[in-house]
Amino acid sequence: MTFLRSRYVEPTRGETMSVTTHVQRPLRLGFIGWGAINRRVAQLLRDRQGERIIVAAICLKDVADGVDVPAGAMIITDPGELRHVELDFMVEAAGRSAVAEWGEAALQQAQALVVASASAFCDDVLLERLVSVAEENGTQLLVPPGALAGVDAIAAAAILELDEVIHRIVKPPAAWRGTDAEKLVALSDIRRSATFFAGTARDAAARFPQNANVAAITALSGIGLDRTHVELVADPDASGNRHELVVRGDFGKLSVSIENRPLAANPKSSEMAALSLVRLVENRFLAFAR
């Protein structure tokens, strides 16, 4: 998708060469879901880019959920209605079920769809279907790095053979409340670091979709959902949400750790999850993409 276009005009005798540059038009953005992450993304984009980005549509299950939406944004509750909206880019952060509900329509209408709820791709059939829709429509299905560091390196390293990928997720006990962790460990009694789950990324992301959704991102970047090993840890001394990655393969060895501040409006998510989405959106139209 190109927003800056230049036209070369061959000069005739006695004329000088001229180059006409078109003015960049605003990127038309759609959100699937209007929870804490997408609201944060919209706020940061508004503060940083102003009128260079237009929030054209917000996709919701219920119109009543459309609280404090940006002026001019169309609230949509039926995927079929997307065909009436001009969109360049769509961002999903509404949970696994929303990917299945809105994914096909988004890929048919917009030039790219970012799926933050990567745990949805534990469903191999869904992933294959959306990839097929993207190929048929010449669009892109993108998975953001989320709260992680080193995802680009893992994806590059996976060009060669990878032997092992380990993803360890460490959060304060309170961040695991309301999840299956409460069935595996007495969170209120933890006095030191406790690993309460060890298994594949597929199992971790499926069982803990809010807290371990990011494990699917690691897996999709590297050796897959069934070969990526995940450990989930409740640590009373943790001051934030920490991700520790260890990767070994023909490229060498990677070891990286990142500790994120929780998202103020939702401690189960990280601020970095929203920031990674902002970067992806901005890189669709900035002349210097990073």
Give pLDDT, residue 23. Answer: 55
pTM of the model: 0.86
User: Which stretches of the chain drop beneath a pLDDT of 50?
Assistant: 1-11, 16-20
Return the pLDDT at 162: 97
* pLDDT recorded at residue 287: 81
Structural domains in the chain? 27-143 (3.40.50.720), 151-261 (3.30.360.10)
| Contact present, 130 and 103 (Cβ < 8 Å) | yes
Give the pLDDT of residue 212: 86
Determine contact, residues 27/88, Cβ cutoff 8 Å: yes
Question: Which residues are the active-site residues?
Answer: 243
User: From residue 68, how far is each of 72, 102, 122, 249, 280 by CA, in Å?
Assistant: 11, 22, 33, 48, 23
Which pLDDT does position 240 carry in this prediction? 85
Q: Give DSSP secondary structure letters for 95-162.
A: -HHHHHHHHHHHHHHSSEEEES-GGGGGSHHHHHHHHHHHHHHT-EEE---TT-SSHHHHHHHTTS-E
Mean per-residue pLDDT over the chain, rounded: 89
Cite the DSSP H helix spans in the chain. 36-49, 96-109, 124-137, 151-157, 181-184, 201-207, 213-221, 271-282
Do residues 200 and 254 touch, judged by C-beta distance below 8 A?
no
What pLDDT is recorded for position 137? 97
Q: Name the residue with tokens 């959902």.
A: 225
Tell me: the pLDDT tens digits for 67-109? 889 999 999 999 999 999 999 999 999 999 999 999 999 999 9
pLDDT value of residue 14:
52
CA angle, 85 as apex, 288 and 124 as ends, to 5°? Answer: 75
Predicted pLDDT of residue 267: 73
Distance CA 195, CA 87 (A): 44
- Which pLDDT score is estimated for 8? 35
Nearest-angstrom CA–CA distance, 44 and 70: 13
pLDDT at residue 4, rounded to an integer: 32
Q: Which two tokens stand for residue 196?
A: 């309460």
* In contact, 96 and 119? CB cutoff 8 Å: yes
